[in-house]
Amino acid sequence: MSPRKLAGGALVIGLTGGIASGKSTVGDQFIALGVPLLDGDHVAREVVAPPSPALAAIAAHFGAEYLQPDGALDRRRLRERVFSDPASRRELEAITHPLIRRRILEWRDAQRAPYCILSVAILVESGMHQLVDRILAVDVPQATQLERLVLRDGIAEPLAQQMIAAQASRSERLARADDVVDNTYPPQSLAPQVKRLHRLYLEIAGTSP
């Protein structure tokens, strides 16, 4: 049992998965079961919303051309740069990750449900796996991931490949995972897997399903 659970806090599940693996879809099913969930992607957007210090730091470091006319971050343009240049990606992460981590910690430590979920695509790569008690990975073959990413974001395959390569490999993610949801199959296959894990997490947290 985690120290937070013993102190009355929630058991913390880290939900992760490669880009376009269906992590958000799985997260939505846990939310439908009443589980508190914080989406790291939403936090990442919040910390760079104008007129945040992080946005100002990005503009100062990368240039004002990475801002849209309304002052918001040009996410697509910046994404193309950082996924083609690992050094730029590290520089961006140095600006945003401490702020994201702080907000995640504040949310996590305020939870009092039997268990809660932190949904973070780069949970392992960013070191945020240290903030959770158990890791749940959403898994699909890389070919499926690539196909879905190109279709979802309307991007060229080379950029999609760079985005996938910037994350932990499928084998690395599975090696770290305590639990796995297979999202290769049609959407209706997810519900039984999520419900089984929901019962498991309630049992681990010491709460009757």
Two structure tokens written together for 6: 């013993």
Location of structure tokens 């990606």: 89
What's the CA gap between 118 and 14, in Å, rounded?
Answer: 5
- Amino acid 190: pLDDT: 92
Query: pLDDT for 47-56, tens place per residue?
Result: 999 999 999 9
Within 10 A of 8 (CB to CB), how many other CB atoms are there? 7
CATH code assigned to 1-36+114-204: 3.40.50.300
pTM over 0.85: yes
- Amino acid 9: pLDDT: 77
SS3 per-residue string spanning 178-192:
CEEEECCCCHHHHHH
With 80 as the cut, is the pLDDT of residue 150 above it? yes
Rounded average pLDDT over 163-179: 92
> What residues form DSSP beta bridges with 124?
none
Rounded average pLDDT over 130-159: 93
With 70 as the cut, is the pLDDT of residue 5 above it? no
CA-nearest of 189, 171, 183 to 23 is 183
- Amino acid 207: pLDDT: 76
Sketch the domain layout of the chain as residue ranges.
Answer: 1-36+114-204, 43-110
Query: pLDDT for 28-39, tens place per residue?
Result: 999 999 999 999
Rounded average pLDDT over 86-104: 95
What's the CA gap between 11 and 201, in Å, rounded?
Answer: 8
Torsion of CA 119, 122, 102, 78, to 10 degrees: -110
CA angle 158, 44, 150 (to 5 degrees): 25
With 80 as the cut, is the pLDDT of residue 26 above it? yes
Location of structure tokens 């490669």: 18
- Three-class DSSP category at 119: strand
